Every structure is written in structure tokens, then in C-alpha cells.
Structure 1
Amino acid sequence: MEFVRAKSAGFCMGVSLALHKLDDIIEKKDIPGDIYILGSIIHNPQVVEEYAGKGVISADSPEEIPSGSIVVIRAHGITKQVQQSLSRRGIHVIDATCPKVKDACLLIEENTADDRVLLLFGEEFHPEVKCLLSYAAGETVVFDSLDKCKACDLDPSRKYCLAAQTTQDKHIFDAISRDLQKRKGLDLVVLHTICNATKMRQDEATKIAEKTDFVIVAGGYNSSNTRRLAQVIEANGTAALHIETAADLPLDDLRNFKKVGLTAGASTPKKIVDEIQRTLESL
């Protein structure tokens, strides 16, 4: 069996920065108080479990975090209102939001200040999407596909701006943009908020899919960008399997393929990808 590994597999810049900030706080211990994360620092359960072993506490809601504590804002960001309320309660806030997400937030804030309605391409209940929506000055509309965008009844007398969750598929976003721009008389501003690293990762996954029989996609099951990689590969006509660790590999089935590819989401540690590679190479 031949094997191809994506060069982009593993942590993206935003994830690396978030974990570096968290590591720095744990190591220096120059701020008193327990260290909390509101939600998962990144969408990878193995990483979250590792930090729990270092004493980092995961909170499901802001109310669980006591005054005087330290809270590290996860890479996906949190809503502007929650971040402000944490600061008002005397909680030391360390913002580890991905810079690309933060840039998208500020673009949305700037471009909705004149009553433009935000049209957001993303997963409605994803933490990043909730963060992005909180920066919109007025009304918002969320959809997760071109068909759902087409179904939106937009008032041509209103002004709109289009943005996307940073890990969305750029090709679908471009199709949505073209569709909206065809609507007669629609006043639309298009904000390009999809991360370039996401597009490069998806493009590389497509190229790997074209020259392999099967592709393994490694990453947390709750990671939207990892799920998206699997979707991009399957849209290319190549079978893909989303797994979290090497223990999830269907080894007997994989022996039937001549050439297997391996890629990983932006929140997947290199050591997990390496272990999967070693297991595949042992077949």
C-alpha cells in the first residue's frame, strides 16, 4: 500500500497561538487564581484532556467561573457580551481568540454599523459563529448551504453584508456571493473572512483525493473544519473517513486499498497524526 500525507496536516497558526498562551500561563503562574477555559480551548478532546491533567478547568457557562479566576478565551472566541461580563466580574481575561476570527469580528462590526443586515455562511450553533454574530450591530441571518441562502427572502430596500465562518468552504462561499450579487437591486458588501490556511488545507486535501483511493481525515469529531475536509474530499469522488486517533482505524478494510491519503484538521496534534501514519505504514 502506498501512502500520502498532507503537508498542512496538524495545528494551524490560530490553534498554536491559543495553546502557547495557555502554556505560558500554566508555566509562569504569575497571575493568582485557578485557570479556566470557557468551553474547549480547541475542538480536540485529547488536547482538552491533556490540559485538564495540568489543572485547567473547563467551564460550560460563564456563571461557573468565580471572581478572581483566570479565564483563557478559546481559539473560536466567545461573544462580545460574555467577554465584557467576565471582565466586569473581576475575572482576569486572557484572549486567545484566533487572529483570523478576531479580524472577522471587527470587519463585521465595522460593516454593520450603518444598519446593514449580516448574512453569515456558517453553522448556527458553532461557538465561532456565535462569536461573529455578537459583533453585528443589527439583524442577522445564518445559513449553512447555498440552497438555504437561495431560500432567504431578502428585502431589496435593505442593505446587506455577507461574511463566513472562517473555516467554511471557499468555493461554496464564492457561489453564494455570486448568487446574491445576481439579485436585482440588492445592496451587498462581501467580506472575505475565510482563513487562507483553511482554503490551502482544503485545496491540498482535494489534490490528495485525486491521486488516492481512500483518505483518512484525523481530528476531533466536534471539529467543524475537520468535518469540512472530509466533505471536500468526498465531493471530489474519493471515499474519506473521519477518525480521532489511530485506534479508530479500520485496519482490515484499509488493506484493500492501493493508495491511502492522510490529512488532519487545524486542531489535531502532530503526535496523533504521526501515530496514525506509523500505523498505516505498518500495514
Structure 2
Amino acid sequence: MTRIIDGNEIADRITADLEPCLETLADAGVTPGLATVLMSDDGASETYVSMKRQACADLGIESIHHELEPDAAADALFDRIDELNADPSVHGILVQLPVPDHVERRAVLERIDPLKDVDGFHPENVGRLVTGNPRFKPCTPHGIQKLLEAEDVETAGKDVVVVGRSNIVGKPLANLLIQKADDGNATVTICHSRTEDLAEKTRRADIVVAAAGVPELVDGSMIGEGATVIDVGVNRVDADTEKGYELVGDVEFDSASRVADAITPVPGGVGPLTITMLLYNTITAASLQTDVDVSLP
């Protein structure tokens, strides 16, 4: 019978395991601080920031929030990042993406101090990850690793297909899974919009990670019997509901769940792990900046 992976339960366990780290830091007079910066009036972005701030408050991480008007000059955002870089009470900085079109995304990521880059998107941190010496693992890929570990899904020697080549999920996850490490050692294929015969690739995989941002792209006919399916997508589609829409993943859940050995739902699968690993990275950043050693789970 297919296992429905409970991301909330796994996230709660990891969050509980982070509490001793906070106690160690508190004993040294350190309270980790995460600054969130929002330069958008997009409702989804506002919701994501609110969820992250609430998670900080629940665990005991100081949340510092900054909002800028979407039509403000790019320099206003850069100046705010510079202020946060210089503030010793701020250990992590998260600029909620996307930023307005007149602000260069790459410049924003490069402006954040690499030691405070808790998203793991700064080129220095990307380079460290690729070479097998990560400072911060990007939150969603790291969350997927933790999820697989919690479900006793072996990656060593397994064939993994990642559908999607974004810098946020697809590329860093592939790099993590090929590393010579207990949660790596996989053979990884990255598929994307130019991949020919996607179904032929996914059907051969022991683990399929769907992260293309296309609603229900992968269905049960594309999944091999007994595979593990990790659905990263969160897509809003029109539906006959009170809200007028519903959330679906990149996987067509009903058909895929009849074939897979284990599968993540949407919502309630990967999403909670993404937020938990942001807390994890903020604690890591506080530890690195204050030279207070903590035992991370």
C-alpha cells in the first residue's frame, strides 16, 4: 500500500531537535535573528513571508521584517541589505523572491553577506555546495534529503530523476544527491522542458522529484512500480471551490499514488520541510558568526 509521506510530522520532529541548539546559543547570550525583506505586493509572497515569520516566533528565533514599495528604486533594496549585513543581531537575511522587474535578481543575491545567506543562493555558497563543502544547503533540497532520510528511502546506488533545472531546487538537489555522502551517492538525471521522452526517463527511476512548476505534469503512467515520488510543485489552478481555485502539485496525485511505493502530498509534503530548513540554516548562521558550537540534527 502506498505510503503518504507526512511532511508536517517530519518537520515537527526536526524542529523539536533544533531546540537544544537554541538553548546552547541562549546560554552564550545569543538569540538567532532572521531578517525578511519583502519588495512586492504579491499575495503569495506575503503569505510565504508570514509563514516563515510565524515559524521563527514558534521556535524562538527573532524575526525582523522589512517591507519596501514595489516601485521603490533598486538602490533602496540594496541599501537595506547593506544595513542588515552590518547588523550583528541579524544572522540570516532572506529577500523574498521574486523581486520587481527593475531590480536585478542576481545582484540582490550577490549583495547578501555569504555568511548570512540562509537561502544558500549566493555564488560563494553555491560553489561550496558543488564542491562538497556546503555552508548552507538550500532549504527545499535539504528538506527533501531530510524527508528521504526520515522515510528510510536509500539514495546510494539509486537512479533519481529530477524534473526541473532551477537554481532553487533542481540543480542544488542534483548536486547534493551525487555527493559522496550518506544521503547522496545517487545517479541523477536532470530533465527539463527540452528533454525528449520524459516518461521514458521517469519510469526508470527509483526516486522521481517533480520540480518543474507545471501542474500535474507527471502522472501514474510515468512512474515505475514501487518508486518514491517527491512532489515539489505548488500550483494554483481554477476549481469549483469556495475560493475558486485549488492547490495541486507537479504530480497527478491520484494516478501516481496507485503506482508509487511512497509519495508526498500537496500541500503537506515538501513545503513544511522548506520552512524548517530555513530555521536550521538561521541557527547555523548564528553559530558560525558567534563561534558558538551547536549540535545540529
Task: Please classify the TM superposition score into its range, dividing by the shorter chain length.
Answer: 0.3 to 0.5
TM-score when normalising by structure 2: 0.34
Largest Rg, 1 or 2: 1
